[in-house]
A and B are shown apart, each in its own frame.
Chain A
């Protein structure tokens, strides 16, 4: 019910990989989870002055749907989440775009890294 950083990262990862990458439908749970864990790890290694702002921004995005839907982003369905993600990444407000780009970049990099390392 309350916004959560790690839940939001998992939810963003699942949505981005599903929409963007091929092969994420069947038999890919372990890879999806590894990508999300990878992104959390990348966040924890970010330059220290960026870590907290990005975390707060992510929690903010997670909580931003509370008013309209009564639920944080991570508890919405994939379709509802993706509508918001699409809107945010096209936003005129560049910091918002950058947050989405951070997750999108790591999600696709991580996904194809996993698929590739798995030799699939």
Chain B
């Protein structure tokens, strides 16, 4: 090894601070550090694409902006299909933009169970406010999509609490909406402040040598091949998302409480058919959520374009063609729970890590309860036929049919999915169960930090990106203040 490589001439081969991953966690971190005058290099595995380069929720978008084309699965009984972004901006480029602050009761639990300090509602308020400003978190300027309003009316009918969830969108004078993803917000700001971005570069393994980090990467070349690249850094911030961060760290020999406590919001879906039209081509993201049973169970409406409807009808093949012929009367709804736990294990030889997830009988009971609540709500909203993603269950057409839903769903017959992953490297002061301290500093590895969904101690019970950004901001400012 040439002696220069270990010196601090970083221009090409590294930076004072290297951030791995450009999702909400990495983008906020890189932006704040760069704006504070730090020398920052941001390394992103996925391609650099603009928000408008792909049509939202299309197959083309899945192919170009999702990890593994959107087909990733946590193995278990039942297995859970999950999805992650893999592009500049990470999940923020493909998601629905639904914003929540971390619920105060969740923060309280994190404090008592994980020893998380300096993270009360009041401590976090300025961070939430800043992110909300930066991303223009706001309510819809016009009426919500019909399928979304249906859910809301069902909840109102039953006297359940239901809200319109604000989103990070900007609306121009013509009412055109533009999602405030990372490539629209923090990333351009970071570049403006001097941050260098290296896309299509995957960190394979990190080594600590002579007081600094060496990051071994493989880089996509223009001709479709791969070449090796190496970067050095004094401070290394890992923000590769809740699955890839623990995979990278474990592959690099950093294992304490890392990758053993992956959590999801296991989600079950229902296709509902209504007598009236509730869906149309290009129907935007539904925004209503039923909060009556939060945080254990959340109900909402999902993307309901014909391909998504078809996928949700997989357990009812005999009715598929009929439902799709009538798709303007149909929409997809979901019940989201908190249960289960999983792990991320890097495999020898392979690049992709093995993800496993287990659900207890109690968790399957929660899913059954969630499903029942959702069906009740949709019937109250006037749906005349419901198809849950459970083989052999349904269709449900009336209150009496709800009795068909068993007290716990059968693992062999239930199809689950999620788009929310976190908690694989929890933060807090309880060294026995956390991977980092309360500010994302990895225990026993000076200079190494985690700044993504991995550090959320447990499932927040709400859409997580708001929490990811607030903690990333809090921890980046702490770093700048020298508290790390």
| Interchain CB contact under 8 A, B347 and A49 | yes
Tell whether A48 is near chain B: CB-to-CB under 8 Å.
yes
Bound-state Cα–Cα, A49 to B350, Å = 6
Q: Which residues of the partner chain B approach A42 to less than 8 Å between Cβ atoms?
A: 69, 71
Decide yes or no: A21 and B351 within 8 Å by CB, A104-B314, A112-B310 being known contacts: no
Q: Which residues of the partner chain A approach B412 to less than 8 Å between Cβ atoms?
A: 94
Interface members, chain B 54-73 (any A CB < 8 Å) = 58-59, 63, 68-69, 71-73
| Interchain CB contact under 8 A, A22 and B352 | no
Q: Which residues of the partner chain B approach A46 to less than 8 Å between Cβ atoms?
A: 68-69, 71
| Interchain CB contact under 8 A, A108 and B311 | yes
Chain B residue at smallest Cβ distance from A44: B69
Decide yes or no: A109 and B352 within 8 Å by CB, A20-B321, A21-B320, A45-B69 being known contacts: no
Bound-state Cα–Cα, A72 to B227, Å = 40
Q: Which residues of the partner chain B approach A38 to less than 8 Å between Cβ atoms?
A: 59
Pairs of residues from A and B, 6 with the lowest C-beta to C-beta distance, nearest first = A47-B352, A45-B69, A108-B310, A22-B321, A113-B307, A112-B306
Chain B residue at smallest Cβ distance from A22: B321
A105, A111, A113, most chain B CB atoms within 10 A: A113
* 20 intermolecular pairs with C-beta atoms under 8 Å apart: A38-B59, A42-B69, A45-B69, A45-B71, A48-B351, A94-B412, A104-B314, A105-B311, A105-B314, A106-B71, A108-B307, A108-B320, A109-B307, A109-B308, A109-B310, A110-B59, A110-B307, A112-B324, A113-B58, A113-B306
Q: Which residues of the partner chain A approach B305 to less than 8 Å between Cβ atoms?
A: 116
Interface bin, chain A: 20 to 34
| Interchain CB contact under 8 A, A101 and B314 | yes
Tell whether A56 is near chain B: CB-to-CB under 8 Å.
no
Q: Which residues of the partner chain A approach B59 to less than 8 Å between Cβ atoms?
A: 38, 109-110, 113
Q: A21-B320, A112-B310 are in contact. List 15 more A-B contacts (CB 8 A).
A: A22-B325, A38-B59, A41-B69, A42-B71, A45-B68, A45-B71, A47-B72, A50-B73, A94-B412, A104-B317, A109-B307, A111-B310, A112-B307, A116-B306, A117-B58
Bound-state Cα–Cα, A94 to B410, Å = 13
Tell whether B302 is near chain A: CB-to-CB under 8 Å.
no
Q: Which residues of the partner chain A approach B351 to less than 8 Å between Cβ atoms?
A: 48
A41, A98, A105, most chain B CB atoms within 10 A: A105
Q: Which residues of the partner chain B approach A109 to less than 8 Å between Cβ atoms?
A: 59, 307-308, 310-311
Bound-state Cα–Cα, A36 to B320, Å = 19
Interface residues, chain A, CB within 8 Å of chain B?
A: 20-22, 38, 41-42, 45-50, 94, 98, 101, 104-106, 108-113, 115-117
From A20, A94, A110, give the contact of B320 (CB < 8 A): A20
Q: Which residues of the partner chain B approach A113 to less than 8 Å between Cβ atoms?
A: 58-59, 306-307
Bound-state Cα–Cα, A105 to B412, Å = 17
Please count how many residues in chain B sit with their CB below 8 Å of the partner chain's CB atoms: 30
Bound-state Cα–Cα, A50 to B324, Å = 31
Interface members, chain B 105-159 (any A CB < 8 Å) = none
From A45, A104, A111, give the contact of B63 (CB < 8 A): A45
Interface residues, chain B, CB within 8 Å of chain A?
A: 58-59, 63, 68-69, 71-73, 79, 281, 305-311, 313-314, 317, 320-321, 324-325, 347, 350-352, 354, 412
Bound-state Cα–Cα, A4 to B317, Å = 27
| Interchain CB contact under 8 A, A41 and B63 | yes
Bound-state Cα–Cα, A4 to B321, Å = 30
Decide yes or no: A21 and B69 within 8 Å by CB, A104-B314, A109-B310, A113-B59 being known contacts: no
- Closest CB-CB distance, B319 to chain A, in whole Å? 10
- Closest CB-CB distance, A20 to chain B, in whole Å? 5
Chain B residue at smallest Cβ distance from A52: B350
Q: Which residues of the partner chain B approach A108 to less than 8 Å between Cβ atoms?
A: 307, 310-311, 313-314, 320
B73, B306, B313, most chain A CB atoms within 10 A: B306
Chain A residue at smallest Cβ distance from B314: A105
Q: Which residues of the partner chain A approach B63 to less than 8 Å between Cβ atoms?
A: 41, 45
Q: Which residues of the partner chain A approach B314 to less than 8 Å between Cβ atoms?
A: 101, 104-105, 108
Bound-state Cα–Cα, A116 to B306, Å = 7
Bound-state Cα–Cα, A101 to B81, Å = 12
Bound-state Cα–Cα, A112 to B281, Å = 13
Bound-state Cα–Cα, A41 to B69, Å = 9
Bound-state Cα–Cα, A20 to B314, Å = 10
Bound-state Cα–Cα, A47 to B310, Å = 24
| Interchain CB contact under 8 A, A21 and B354 | no
Bound-state Cα–Cα, A80 to B227, Å = 48
B69, B310, B313, B325, most chain A CB atoms within 10 A: B310
